Amino acid sequence: MSAQKVAVITGSGDGLGKGIAKRLAKDGFAIVLSDINPDTLKATAAEFQADGVNVASFQGNVAKREDQFALVQHAVDTFGRVDVFVNNAGIEDVMALEDVTEADFDRVFDVNVKSVLFGTQAAAAQMKKQGGGSVYKIINACSIAGHESYDLLGVYCASKHAVRSLTVTAAKELAKHQITVNAYCPGVAATKMWDRIDAEMGKYMNTQPGEAFEKFSAGILMGRPQVPEDVAALVHYLASEDSDYMTGQALLIDGGMVFR
């Protein structure tokens, strides 16, 4: 195996995933970017290359088991190993529970929950093959919505509660293989996800653009919404040897919104 450790991050063409990939690159990992959106994926890969990062990219849909296994294979074909796998990609759905259709429910659970299951299976299979020496890390995107439930975000909250549960079960099953499984739980970050949530909530609540976002962020103890770097700093820790003794945790990184 090559000496440089390798981190794979899904949904890293944009948003929090891109911020996490940047931080892990700075920490010295070779980076495998992955996204369903070919344009942002290409642009981000070019940006990383220009910055001198050892980077590969893979276009795939995290909801598809074969894509998650192909992503891990791509990482191995390119860099020879996988040390850290971040199940970051996720989507939201803003609607009252009474309006949710079967297709809405399936869409969110396919991308937010099946992705974590399939990503964990693919990463663990490779990490088990590698064996020996270091502790491998699977890191999942949960949310304050994995600890608390919010109106108009019911299916999203249910999906993130499921991610928290999968994190604990995977931690219990994989510890014997020296694989830890933890999750990061962001609060409110002004990514494209929140642009969409703000617009959709506006339709239900008759709010102006930006108002729902402001309302949701108003009570944050640290006095501001978060930026990708805030979340990336926690993932940096979870990906590092400093967190080798931590597993099965879903850690809140929200500036002071939800207290557990």
Ligand X SMILES: NC(=O)c1ccc[n+]([C@@H]2O[C@H](COP(=O)([O-])OP(=O)(O)OC[C@H]3O[C@@H](n4cnc5c(N)ncnc54)[C@H](O)[C@@H]3O)[C@@H](O)[C@H]2O)c1
CB of 6 to ligand X, least distance (A): 19
Distances (CA, A) of 89 to 2, 18, 122, 172, 204: 27, 10, 15, 23, 26
Asked if 88 touches ligand X (CB under 6 A), the answer is yes
Asked if 13 touches ligand X (CB under 6 A), the answer is yes
Footprint of ligand X on 145-164 (CB under 6 A): none
* Active-site residue identified among 18, 22, 114, 160: 160
Please identify, among the stretches 36-44, 47-55, 93-101, 120-128, the one whose residues bind ligand X according to the rule CB under 6 A: 36-44
Q: DSSP string spanning 167-179?
A: HHHHHHHHGGGTE
Asked if 15 touches ligand X (CB under 6 A), the answer is yes
Asked if 91 touches ligand X (CB under 6 A), the answer is yes
Alpha-carbon radius of gyration of the chain: 18
Respond yes or no: is residue 160 known to be catalytic.
yes
CB of 134 to ligand X, least distance (A): 26
Q: What distance lies between CA 31 and its chain's CA centroid?
A: 15
Answer for the pair 91, 159: CB distance below 8 angstroms, yes or no: no
DSSP tag of 189: B
Respond yes or no: is residue 184 known to be catalytic.
no
Answer for the pair 92, 16: CB distance below 8 angstroms, yes or no: no
Residues forming contacts to ligand X in the complex (CB under 6 A) are 10-11, 13-17, 35-37, 40, 61-63, 88-91, 111, 141, 143, 186, 188-189, 191-194
Residues assigned a catalytic role = 156, 160
